[in-house]
Amino acid sequence: MLKLQKLGLRLFQAVEGLIGYAFRGFSNPFYSLGALAFYFFYIIVGTGIYLFIFYDPSIKGSYDTVQYLTRDQWYLGGIMRSFHRYASDALVLTMVLHILREFVLGRYRGARWFAWVTGYPALMLIFPSGLIGYWLVWDTLGQFIAVRSTEWLDWLPIFSEPSARNFLTNASVSDLFFRLILIGHIALSVFVFVALLMHVKNISRAMTSPPRNLAIGTLLFLLILSLLEPAASQARADLSIVPGIINIDWFYMFLYPLMDLWSLGGAWALVIVTSLLLLLLPWLPPQRDQPVAKVLLEKCSGCNLCVVDCPYEAIVLQPRSDGHPSYVREAVVVEDNCVGCGICTGACPFSRPPRGGETLTTGIDIPSRDIQHLHSASVQALAALRAEIKVLVYGCDHGAVLDNLGVHGAAAVSLPCTAALPASFIGYMLRHGADGIFLTGCRMGDCYNRLGNIWVEQRLALDFKHRPHLPRWVPPQRIGHYWAGPGDKARLVKAIERFQQELRDFSDNNGPKAENGDSQ
């Protein structure tokens, strides 16, 4: 499985890198697949409401009203129908890509199991909803789907009478049938929306809509596609004849050819085995317990910053439990939601290196990668450098590999997430021998922990609304950053080398380093 994930990751990284030349950050469609799925669902609902206004749920009216919208009202109704069709296909595509991408990135285990497991029902509900949508047109494709689907259901030994008998003759289908499946189509859409909301329940600041430029571009693409290749019905359904050539929608009907190639039972076996595998995947093989953040109550002021920054709703504020005279609230970790990213440590205003006779302090920490480990690793890395210009590189475990950078005068320290680095450490290391601090991590918009590089950039930009921030006295020329994914090591090395040259130029223009006050 690990080899499969590595192969898939290289493929995704290559494609995303190419697209990244035109689409930066979250505008890259691969970095906003979840948001695009919500967006396509919104389009489906909006266009579906319009189609519902004109739709006549009856044997004759179903086909006639859809034809009227497609041909006579092509300028609006036809476009709405095409939007409805293509957005439905795009929804399946984005959700499948989203699942594959989360799998190759390993973002489905541990505390992330809930999002993975709740995402699967949403995908499974989409397929019957889409197939029923084709029934409602009641052309030869809808006829084929109705007959083949009921035959597939009849294979299960749970029905006393074969339901496929309802589609033996034209007389066996009533207007009531179309009213019922219309209700079913709407009900399934509601269930899909509920499943999507459950999917993002434990995700802070979940992206349920793509960036504006991506949303507009997607809408224009659907419009152009709808005008060039409008969705159209096939011949009117007639149960007295067997349809000949049928053009199927492979996004929704990929199972039907397999029913002919294998068997009805084989198709059921594929669905059941795949479903069980996907649902059990977060625990295959069993994973060691992940590190969980721990609140150090004597340094916790209940300031809420760790709650704000946590990407997974893993920290909440509760009334104080130790009777502190000044603080009324304290942070409490929801262990089942914590992924051990350490972003909370970087957000804590008490996370700071030693000053004078003080010791390392923080209000919340990751025991296995605590602030003491960060301090020791930073000091050792800096002490090992023997160069005129010394650069300390901080990165994350999930971005470009930092081992053996091969850059003279640069040493790297890796964190669970770059946002786990307290801003005060930057000033501290600059005051204790570093000429520059270079930050790296996952590509912008593709942070393994969702929001890490966003928080880092806000702290570097002295965003006082998002504390703690970079110390005021630190010259911005001594701080560099470049977001690099697992396949971007060569680019990262070049960026560090450029930064070293910029530091030389800055040093030449400003003379020797001065002692700069306190790191805070």
Give the DSSP letter string of 274-342. HHHHHHHGGGSSPPPPPP--EE-GGG----SHHHHH-TTS-EEEEE-SS--SS--EEEEE-GGG-----
pLDDT at 279: 94
CB-based contact 139:235 (threshold 8 Å): yes
Separation CA 368–CA 330 (nearest Å): 22
Question: Assign residue 54 a region: left if phi > 0, alpha if psi is -120 to 50, beta otherwise?
Answer: alpha
From start to end of 115-242, where are the E strands?
none
Query: What pLDDT was estimated at residue 242?
Result: 84
The pLDDT tens digits of the residues spanning 250-298 come to 999 999 999 989 999 999 999 999 999 999 999 988 877 788 999 999 9
Orientation angle between helical segments 175-199 and 59-67, nearest 10 degrees: 60
Choice between 253 and 356, residue whose per-residue pLDDT is larger:
253
Distance between CA atoms of residues 509 and 516, nearest Å: 17
The pLDDT value given to residue 520: 31
Domains in the chain: ranges and CATH? 2-141+169-251 (1.20.810.10), 294-510 (no CATH)
Give the tokens for residue 512. Answer: 């020797």
Q: Any idea which residue has 């989409």 for tokens? A: 126
The secondary structure of residue 201, as a DSSP letter, is T
If you search the block for the tokens 């204790």, which residue do you land on? 432
Can you tell me the distance from the alpha carbon of 307 to that of 472, in angstroms, rounded to the nearest whole number? 25
Q: How far is Cα 181 from Cα 184, in angstroms, rounded to an integer?
A: 5
Q: Quick one: pLDDT at residue 511?
A: 59
Q: Return the residue matching tokens 């084929």.
A: 144
pLDDT digits 0-9 by tens, 84-96? 999 999 999 999 9
27, 312, 315, 346, 426 from 451: Cα distances, Å: 15, 10, 15, 12, 20
DSSP string, 423-437: HHHHHHHHHTT-SEE
Answer whether residue 244 shows pLDDT above 70: yes
Predicted local confidence at residue 385, as pLDDT: 92
Residue of higher predicted confidence among 245 and 123 = 123
The contacts of residue 341 (CB under 8 Å, 6+ apart) are 311, 416, 417, 419, 420, 449, 452
Quick one: pLDDT band at residue 127, thresholds 50, 70, 90? Answer: very high
Whether the Cβ atoms of residue 435 and residue 513 lie closer than 8 Å to each other: yes
Residue 519, pLDDT > 50, answer no
As a whole number, the mean pLDDT across the chain is 90
pLDDT for 23: 87
Count of Cβ atoms closer than 10 Å to residue 207 Cβ: 19
Q: How far apart are CA 441 and CA 187, in angstroms?
A: 43
pLDDT at 101: 95
CB 175 within 8 A of CB 136: no
Band the pLDDT of 518: cuts 50, 70, 90.
Answer: very low
Indicate the pLDDT class of residue 158, thresholds 50, 70 and 90: confident
Higher local confidence (pLDDT), 25 or 81 = 81
| pLDDT recorded at residue 515 | 44
Check residues 303 and 352 and name the one with the higher pLDDT: 303
